[in-house]
Structure 1
């Protein structure tokens, strides 16, 4: 296990300060706010720790309300909305400095058999044939920015199938993007941990497809100001976050200072594991 992954797992190991109240820390951020994927993953961990044994997360719906302060702890309060015969529902509010910064609703289900079909996995290059982030980022970004981005993502091996948006500024492309990802080290067999790590990674690249459509590079090159607004995930089939997952992303629309991204995440053997939708602020800075 890499030191970076060990640090991320430590962040997800929330401190229980009351029956349904947890406290989490943040890592140093490359922007002056807490990474949204971290807050979502911590909130899902908090919810999952109050769920009856044998029930796994099957969906989450979240809103990012305020920027998180990386220098302050985050308190997660869990409301036990319902414990049914098959489904469990939880609501989580994340608070900093007396104000809510994030809201999550999550549903958990006891496994059962049912009808089966799925959208086929799209074609994609093998992950081993693609450059690592440490190899690719310095080709397209200033050394300082590339170094900070590599460090921030060191817990995850994330590989772009094609040039990312900040590597093709000024050249609009089809609003589609593919990345392979897995954790940089093996994980325990806890299904909740794998779901939370996939949630963490899901916020890293989903709005890239919005930028590609307009030849924009995003915050890394300063031509777009962005932030996550809301995020939804559906977990369809079992998967491991320490094995390769294909994140196939596209953007059907951008308007009103917002961009929409939607995606499917597949296991390497072609199983559709997760569906994701996210809307975010995508603003072009005004000329001074």
Structure 2
């Protein structure tokens, strides 16, 4: 396990303060001083899951709102409220707090495995990840044109290996249909801990989801005129997740309006099983140039 993946694993594990309160640390992923949204998603799922007494009950859905930017220099306190433990389902609410203000809240539902009807969407036909360049390799090719903090990050080994199926130059994106596909997996070998794999999937789900809403408009997250921020995020976990093997993130953006973009996605394993789905709406505001 490389140092970055080890660091991420430790971030997701959290420090218990009492049975319903946990403390999380942050990494300044983009050099902005702001906490990456996926980190809060992964940590909140971990916090909620650790209050479930029945070990067979696992998170099957989460619905979250981002309220304020997180500060990477300040620990995040996760307070879990035990809403209900019923005969089949458990419900939890998590509030993430910094500087004595809520920056994020999430509701999650838990259920033990149960037999029932099954059907799923069909996995798109895309090239194998083994023949694709990683996102960091693509960034290194344009490192001299990137802002210093991002150029430095491009030279580091990331915790998650992300490989775009159809790479786009973020500095000159052009206009495209609002669809994108990415392969991803842990950049190393994680222990066989289903909760850790699920938390890391939640962490990774925040990469590129909202960016897909910019594709038809010739913009990217690197465009100097763009103001972007996640507003809400939802995930549904359908089947067991293995972050040690490649997963395909198939994203589409069916709508953009009122300075918001809406995106949804399916996540498949290499066997073609639909393991999870996600959805997000976020701010995509184009700031007018100053006269």
Scaled to the shorter chain, the TM-score interval is: over 0.9
Match of 2:10 in 1: 10
Task: Tell me by how many angstroms 1:82 deviates.
Answer: 0.7
Taking structure 1 as the reference length, what is the TM-score of the superposition?
0.95
CA gap of 1:149–1:160, structure 2 versus 1, over 3 A, is: farther
Aligned mates of 1:205, 1:48 — CA distance in 2: 26
Question: 2:185 pairs with 182, 187, 203, which one?
Answer: 182
State the alpha-carbon separation in 2 of the partners of residues 42 and 127 from structure 1.
28
The answer to whether the 8 A contact 1:62-1:104 is kept is: yes
Mark the runs of 5 or more structure 1 residues left unpaired by the alignment: none
* 1:1-288 correspondence to structure 2 within 5 Å: 1-30=1-30, 31-51=32-52, 52-140=54-142, 142-143=145-146, 144=148, 146-150=150-154, 154-164=158-168, 166=170, 168-169=172-173, 171-218=174-221, 220-288=222-290
Whether the 8 Å CA contact 1:29–1:152 is kept in 2: the answer is no
Report if aligned partners of 1:164, 1:208 keep a CA contact under 8 Å in 2. no
| Residues 29 and 70 in structure 1, CA contact (< 8 A), matched pair in contact too | no
CA contact (8 A) 1:217 1:223 kept: no
Distance 1:148 1:228, change over 3 A: farther
Shift of 1:85: 1.5
**5+ unaligned residues in a row in structure 2: which ranges?**
none
Aligned counterparts of 2:219 and 2:153: Cα–Cα separation in 1:
18
> Does the aligned pair in 2 maintain the 1:181–1:246 contact within 8 Å?
yes
CA contact (8 A) 1:165 1:212 kept: no
Dislocated runs of 4+, deviation >6 Å? none
Structure 1 residues 192 and 113, CA, compared in 2 at 3 Å: closer, same or farther?
same
CA gap of 1:201–1:5, structure 2 versus 1, over 3 A, is same
- Number of corresponding residues: 286
Q: Secondary structure at the match of 1:198?
A: helix
Aligned mates of 2:165, 2:61 — CA distance in 1: 27
d(CA) in 2 for partners of 1:12, 1:161: 28
Deviates more, 1:23-32 or 1:207-216: 23-32
Q: Secondary structure at the match of 2:121?
A: coil
Distance change in 2, residues 1:153/1:49 (3 Å): farther
Cα distance change, pair 36–140 in 1 and its aligned pair in 2 (3 A): same
CA distance in 2, matches of 1:101, 1:60: 17
Q: CA deviation at 1:284?
A: 0.7
Deviations 1:85-134 (A, max 9, x none): 11111000000001000001011101011101011101111001110123
**CA shift for structure 1 position 139:** 3.0
CA–CA distance in structure 2, aligned partners of residues 153 and 205 of structure 1: 18
What secondary structure sits across from 1:205 in the alignment? coil
What TM-score does the superposition give when structure 2 sets the normalisation length?
A: 0.94
Of 174-183 and 80-89, the range deviating more from structure 2? 80-89
